[in-house]
Amino acid sequence: MNRIYHFHVGWTSYFVVLFLASQMFYFFWMKEIVVAVLITLLEIFFIEMMIHTAYTITQSGTLVISKGKFFPVQEIPVKDIVRIEDASTPFSKKRVRLTYHGKYKDEKVTLAPAKKEDFVASLLKAHPEIVAEQMNLNL
């Protein structure tokens, strides 16, 4: 069965949405329609990305990273993942950095799953050879 983990929407994401909304209303109020429409499009783009970002661990052993309709889907074989690190910042405590064997070199990707502990546990269950570094998890 596929496991789907959604994007963690933190306070910084809400702040960006509210800030863009206030700017949108301000420019509509000031009759600056072109600027207001551009900010509206940016707002729609950002909200769509927040809603549709998901990380799926498939039964066949692939991590599928979907960041909305405007970005291509990224697929990483779980067997290629070498390391999982905690990538928390003061702005987001739910970040995880994965290091995996890319096409030419080791590549890194930072993800923000809503259920960080479950996400890491699922990856470790799918591929026990992954090294979990600097993880403050109760596994």
**Global pTM value:** 0.83
Q: What is the pLDDT of residues 74-102, one digit of tens each?
A: 999 999 999 999 887 777 778 899 999 98
Q: What is the pLDDT of residues 1-10, one digit of tens each?
A: 799 999 998 8
Give the pLDDT of residue 120. 92
The CA distance from 29 to 80, in Å, is 52
In a domain, 138, yes or no: no
Domain count, the chain: 1
Domain span including residue 87:
3-133
In a domain, 129, yes or no: yes
In a domain, 60, yes or no: yes
In a domain, 139, yes or no: no
Higher pLDDT, 104 or 20: 20
Give the pLDDT of residue 132. 84
In a domain, 121, yes or no: yes
- Nearest Cα to 3, choosing from 115, 132, 92? 115
Whole-number percent of the chain with pLDDT over 70? 95
Residue 32 sits in a domain whose CATH number is 2.30.29
Confidence of residue 139 (pLDDT cuts 50, 70, 90): very low
The CA distance from 81 to 65, in Å, is 14
The CA distance from 49 to 66, in Å, is 9
- Nearest Cα to 68, choosing from 51, 89, 56, 82? 51
Q: Residue 137, Cβ neighbours under 10 Å: how many?
A: 15
Give the pLDDT of residue 103. 82
Q: How many helices (H) and strands (E) does the chain have?
A: 3, 8
Q: What is the pLDDT of residues 34-62, one digit of tens each?
A: 999 999 999 999 999 999 999 999 999 99
* Alpha-carbon distance values, 65 to 7, 84, 134, 135, 139 (Å): 10, 16, 23, 21, 23
